[in-house]
Structure 1
Amino acid sequence: MPLPAKGVCASALQAIGNTPVVRLQKIVPTISADVLVKLEYFNPTGSYKDRMALSMIEEAEARGTLRPGMTVVEYTGGSTGSSLAFVCAVKGYPFKVVSSDAFAREKLQTMRAFGAELMIVPSVGGQVTPDLTPRMIEAARELAKDPGIYWTDQLHNADIITGHEKLGRELLEQIEGPIHAFCGAVGTAGMLMGVARALRQANSQARMIALEPASSAFLSTGKAGTHHVEGIGIGSVPPLLDSAFYDEVRGIDEGEARQMARRLAQEEGIFAGVSSGLNVVGALQLAQELGAGHTIVTVAVDTGLKYLAGDLYEG
């Protein structure tokens, strides 16, 4: 399938974005809304995080807070780290990553492949517990005391919203007719906020639905818990999540999300991870509620190739 963008890219960074949108065929009940999925694993590192990584680096360069010779630092569960490692490799910045053994080995290996230096914060039994992200943040904060460090600090960096607004604008160009609802899992909240801003600027009336793991439904219940859906459900309210830009929060069962990821691969040919399965579970709920004649949109956030060392696709 040819890429929508035309011409020769000056570098791999220009291959970010312009990802395809597909309509689900087999897993959507006959009497329900259309469900469209934007395949963000067409980005260079197989994740939508490429968008925010490029934005964080280039916006910092434009401000002069990131200069040649400096080292970039970030805490990450993997996909942001892979994307930043990719961008830093192309631009020539050393990159130090604070991550954990709670995240997929493929993601850690990808960061190393791009030349990143990793610091691993040990998890409790390989789980994403409420204390894990704060411990990773503190480790990154210590590294950032060095004046030669630029800490992207994704949870507090509004540049990630700017990076994801283009995703929303692409959806408006690609989809004929109105978008009635958009749903997406919340980690940093950059994707949901970026899409919401783009749709609002275009006067779209789409409902914006934030999704989270039901076992750590802090946004909807105020109670954090343990889960194993990488990149989302951080156990607190992300600083960039603005309640004025979404309409509802839903907790989605992790078991259903994992089963949906497998169904997407086997029935729709969409090979993605658990958070993508979670997004589609939420989208199907909305599709049944809104009914025929409506359009629900969500995102396949990353490739299933990042999860082959785990148990998601075993058996």
Structure 2
Amino acid sequence: MPDNYASTTLHAIGNTPLVRLNQIVPPNSAEVFVKLEYYNPTGSYKDRMALAMIEEAERSGALKPGMTVVECTGGSTGTSLAFVCAVKGYPFQVVTSDAFAKEKLQTMRAFGADLVIIASEGGKITPDLIPSMREKARQLSETIGTYFTDQINNPNSMKGYSRIGQEILQQLDRPVDAFCGGVGTAGMLMGVSRAFREAHQTTRIIALEPASAPLLSTGTRGTHTVEGIGIGMVPPLLSNDFYDEVRTVDETEARQMARMLAKTEGIFAGISSGLNVTAALQLAQELGPGHTVVTVACDSGMKYLSGSLYTN
């Protein structure tokens, strides 16, 4: 028999399970499926993006051995980049903030990252926080021998995320009527949407954001604590041609859903995953039986144990 193993941990990225929700879907609704992205090595779908950005930079010659990778991130992207850089041997410098989960900061350090911490206002993600982090990362990237992955503007992130869409279509033997996901850099939503389009799917694509920071839907900036989305600006990767509508989800409902997922479906994930599933259930009720709705569990609930999500 041939050997059946991954030659490095980077080859363990992807091919995550797709599971059907059974306990919390209301009667007379569409079926709802969740892609469990916390099965990736660092417990987040950002592993896909990090690997794609680094390997595309290597192929283009922009990133060479001995160079330092720079990024600004709330922690999941930083953890994934720190992981990829550790395996490939690149130093990694990350601009982040105390507004993000302590576990994420600790994990980045565990993978060998050098952290630059930007102070937040009361631990919240305010409209100016991400821009200030980006500016600091830009300044650091001006140093000779650095490569700025620039996740917000980097189209290579969509190449990594497109595999989510490809895997969903391989795992389901039916059309996907609706797919929804929270928007941070928009790489995941755009990558999945493009994969569906390439497969000639007519899937309705719904972008999600926190109700307290409805920039995409109303143009209003706001404050929230849903890590990874609602970054205070319209992400350059978000193309009007690849999504159908924007919906907002109340953060309190997202938190309640995250806890309910753990207790009833055995899905232990973060707040953004609760936000995704909240919207998916709403779509399922609207579409009704005979239809299929898919979303993603972005990362593991293990990253949020020191915060209020699973303590209150």
1: CA distance, partners of 2:295 / 2:112? 32
TM-score between the two structures when normalised by the length of structure 2: 0.99
The answer for unaligned runs of 5 or more in structure 1 is 1-5
Q: Does 1:206 align with 2:203?
A: yes
Q: Does 1:232 align with 2:229?
A: yes
Deviation at 1:122, TM superposition (A): 0.2
Deviation at 1:23, TM superposition (A): 0.3
Per-residue CA deviations over 1:228-264 (Å, capped at 9, x if unaligned) read 0001001111000001000000010000000000000
Give 2:252's aligned residue: 255
1: CA distance, partners of 2:26 / 2:281? 8
Deviation at 1:121, TM superposition (A): 0.2
Partner of 2:208: helix, strand, or coil? strand
Partner of 2:127: helix, strand, or coil? coil
Give 1:195's aligned residue: 192
**Correspondences of 1:135-284 after superposition (within 5 Å):** 135-284=132-281
2: CA distance, partners of 1:302 / 1:83? 11
| Ranges of 4+ aligned residues in structure 1 off by more than 4 Å | none
Give 2:289's aligned residue: 292
The aligned amino acid for 1:165 is S
Deviation at 1:147, TM superposition (A): 1.9
Deviation at 1:71, TM superposition (A): 0.2
1: CA distance, partners of 2:132 / 2:232? 13
1: CA distance, partners of 2:169 / 2:160? 16
1: CA distance, partners of 2:214 / 2:249? 9
Out of 53, 56, 70, the residue aligned to residue 53 of structure 2 is 56
Give 1:131's aligned residue: 128
Partner of 1:111: helix, strand, or coil? helix
Give 1:89's aligned residue: 86
Partner of 2:173: helix, strand, or coil? coil
The aligned amino acid for 1:160 is S
Deviation at 1:309, TM superposition (A): 0.4
Q: Does 1:39 align with 2:15?
A: no
Partner of 1:65: helix, strand, or coil? coil
Q: Does 1:76 align with 2:73?
A: yes
The aligned amino acid for 2:92 is F
Percent identity among equivalent residues?
68
Per-residue CA deviations over 1:62-110 (Å, capped at 9, x if unaligned) read 0000000000000000000000000000000000000000000000000
Q: Does 1:306 align with 2:303?
A: yes
The answer for unaligned runs of 5 or more in structure 2 is none
1: CA distance, partners of 2:144 / 2:10? 27
The aligned amino acid for 1:127 is K
| Superposition CA RMSD, Å | 0.7
The aligned amino acid for 1:132 is L
2: CA distance, partners of 1:243 / 1:271? 32
Give 2:113's aligned residue: 116
User: How many residues are aligned here?
Assistant: 310
2: CA distance, partners of 1:45 / 1:278? 21
TM-score between the two structures when normalised by the length of structure 1: 0.98
Per-residue CA deviations over 1:193-250 (Å, capped at 9, x if unaligned) read 0000000000001100000000001000000100000010011110000010000000
Partner of 1:156: helix, strand, or coil? coil
Deviation at 1:176, TM superposition (A): 1.2
Partner of 2:237: helix, strand, or coil? coil
Partner of 2:212: helix, strand, or coil? helix
